[in-house]
Structure 1
Amino acid sequence: MPDFLAALIPFFIIHIICDFYLQPKRWVEAKQLHKYRAPELYYHSALHGIALIIPALALDLDWRSTLCLIGIVAVSHFVIDLWKVTTRNGETFSYFVIDQALHLSVLTAIVFHMSDGVTIDALLTHEKFSEGLMVVFAYLVILKPTSVLISRILSKHPISGSEDSNNPNITGLVAGGELIGYLERVLILTFTLVGCYAAVGFVLAAKSIFRFGELNKSNDRSMTEYVLIGSLVSVVITTLVGTLVSLGLDVKIK
């Protein structure tokens, strides 16, 4: 029986190639327009199943297992894609993430079933399991909970004139600041966990450069202070979380 990661990675590679490189834009548009009547939906689903013959041969699966693999992946991909194209606002980012998570979950479940020695008990008792939970917890903390905390802090320091919706000085993407904060904190936490602290400084310097022109042109001092408070709170929380998790990981390793 194949090793779990040795089988999972080729399966994921095939999925990425078929879903993003071998799917023409006209196929996507046809699925959105014609739903289950689009032949492209069937072509695309069949492609995902048939392409898995390559890793199946490499892993030396018998023909029965290979046929089951092709059938399960093709059918599941058809159902998930059909659900996405028939769902209202199915082309939004959140549905894209759900769609990909479902496809990858199916592949993971198949490989989990195929692999030898991989059980739920073995996973839960693995020496790296608790470390993985700590890292996942850290990323969860620095995303939505940290955004809520920062918004609560900044609500006590509103921008002067921000209540005026017609204020021409207030510009930018809707929720753009929140997205920038997410990306900034993910980068800082990642660099902190791997011990690349110089890269953290690079992230802060890059953000400061991009923000400098905007703040330099602003005559509103409260805007500058607002941005600085949000940025510093974001950095402090993420750095503390990253440092604490890193210390916890070091203690477990020792």
Structure 2
Amino acid sequence: MDVLQIKILVSLVAAHFLSDFVLQTDLDVKQKNKVKYFIKHIFFVTSVSYLLLGGFDNYLIPIFILITHSLIDLIKLKIKNDNLWIFLSDQLAHLSVIIFISINAHFFLDTTRKFFWVIYFGENYYQVLLLLTAVILVTKFSGVMIGYLIKPLQIKIFQSEVNNEDLPQTGKIIGYLERLIILISVLMNVPAIIGFLITAKSILRYSEIKSDKDKLFVEYILIGTLLSFALGISLSYLAFESINAIKVML
């Protein structure tokens, strides 16, 4: 891919994850079959894509995203199923559209013009977008994936007598924090922190075991923790390599 294609790819990927996982709330997701919530989401996706791209004289790309994102989301709503594979297929479809736009950049816009944000912030703008995308991936995106993966265990725990009323929110926040720590440690090139984090959390969790019920609860937490670490480490190193590659290419 050439420089122009990479710039469009980075901008639109950041816009997608920002719109889908930050600007779209849990309530928006649950009520997406209602027209006003659906329109709200499509408006955010289109607007953020237009803003982050910075080609303010170009309307073809935002319109293309508006149409394709709407169609993909409508298909997902028609399926009326909610599992990891549907979630990943939906994300892959959106990202495929973004890759298609990037590859065909010369068709979608005038390649002789500079993007607005590059004029004011320079090429570092795209490194910031990659960092923003990385933060969203290791927090919200990973959280959704882990939620799907541990859902069977979660149902089992909820049906038991274990006290877990605060589990969904506190577990989510802890997961966000630990994956952010992993991302920071990778970007700062101090991976030893990850080892200390895994050891400390494992000791704390196993110290809570007092009965078979507690053991079930702690095993559930540890499975979620290991999934969290696996995604956090993988995505963090992907972000690290991507940011370094952008420095060289731009």
If you compute each CA radius of gyration, which structure gives the higher value, 1 or 2?
1
TM-score relative to the length of structure 2: 0.47
Looking at both structures, which has the greater relative contact order when contacts are Cα pairs under 8 Å and sequence separation is at least 6?
2
